[in-house]
Chain A
Amino acid sequence: MINTNSVLDAKGLACPMPIVKTKKAMNGLEAGEVLEVQATDKGSTADMKAWAESTGHQYLGTVEEGTTLKHYLRKASGEETEVKKHEKIISNEELLQVMEENRNMIILDVRESAEYAFNHIPAAKSLPLGELEQRMGELDKESEIFVICRTGSRSDLAAQKLTAAGFEQVFNVVPGMSQWNGPSQKSVNE
């Protein structure tokens, strides 16, 4: 079960209907929100990938449940262009080195849970940016916290929020999961 902002039932529909309905459903979402599309059209997996590619949305992955294909898409947010403000930054490569040192540390993944489900660093804790303020209490103030997202923008915001809340050793990992080539895993069966 993956949390999403909206679910679209396109089961039983033939091409091009799953795409047509996806387009309509996506119009109703806010930037950065995640849509689950349920379809039985076997061609829909290739179509969803291609559609996301041409429209600029993010295709996260597909889970097969019996004859139903569940596709996960995240609405384009334009976050790549934002200026990063949090000063403590480390690169993906530096994070990999830190991981090898077995320090008292938390890798905090602030992407949506659907993004985390399809690809994340094995030790990373999932805490979507939208839930950060309510769930901040789960984090240990004595640990170093390495905040990661897809491109470094949401993690920048999260790092600022954590710093404002009194966390002192907070680092933004740049660029983040979009360029990650260290160990990774998924928590869904594709």
Chain B
Amino acid sequence: MTAMIEVRNLQKRYGDTVAVEDVSFSVREGEIFGILGPNGAGKTTTVECVEGLRTPDRGEISVLGLDPRRDRAQLTQLLGVQLQEAQLPERLRVGEALALYRSFYRAPADVDALLDGLGLAAKRRTPFGKLSGGQKQRLSIALALVGAPRVAVLDELTTGLDPQARRDTWQLIEGVRARGVTILLVTHFMEEAERLCDRVALIDAGRVVAVDSPAALAERVQAEQRIQFRPSAPLDDRLITILPEVTGLVRRGDLVIVTGRGDVLGAVTSVLARNGIVAGHLRVEQANLEDAFVALTGRSTSDDR
């Protein structure tokens, strides 16, 4: 499969501070690729180099086979961009903004369909300054898509949105991908990356720590699982602790908590079944992307650096 975006050994400094030390990744056609990391990790600088807004100090970038700086005229026709905190003039109306941006592109998208899809059809005549945070964000997405791009770069898409608006936006992005647009998504929300991304590059302190699917990343660090249940009948601990997958068992009131590796859940449930015991209130705790991040970088994503 061809790479839509190829970044190799990117480095970018501002004076003495190194924003990006060494970043490489490659985005495949049709996927949602996430760049995930804490604030200040170099995510935005990386995508600004991809967008051609900044010149890298070192390294190579190619987007759709084009150089973001040298082939700017060609690339801007094919690349949709949603910037973090870019606004529009207060008095510019939604419909005017879309008509304006639409005129920039050779083969633009249909504005009506875009407005409908983003739930902005009723806001055509509303000035930008009168829109809610979520509506501004949706308009910003609409402007990123109005050129019918093949690749879209979305930076901190849902920051500042309430949970409902965030979920709506995620749904929308999935819809965009379904239409064949490759998406590069910058985020510091684990949940967002887990829900949306096919693959994620974990970035910390200007370096790529790992690139993989969210599930695979979580599995990598998954040393143990915790199973918790309330047995329907008295249970002899030895039945469980004798299993090779089990590493520990504790009781908390009438709750049994088992820790173990591999297919510990399968082993435990078959033992219970054989003894005619039902596991009530069964809960399995697995590592998630957040755990992966902590394990791989030694800090949490909400740490500001």
Co-assembled chains A and B = no
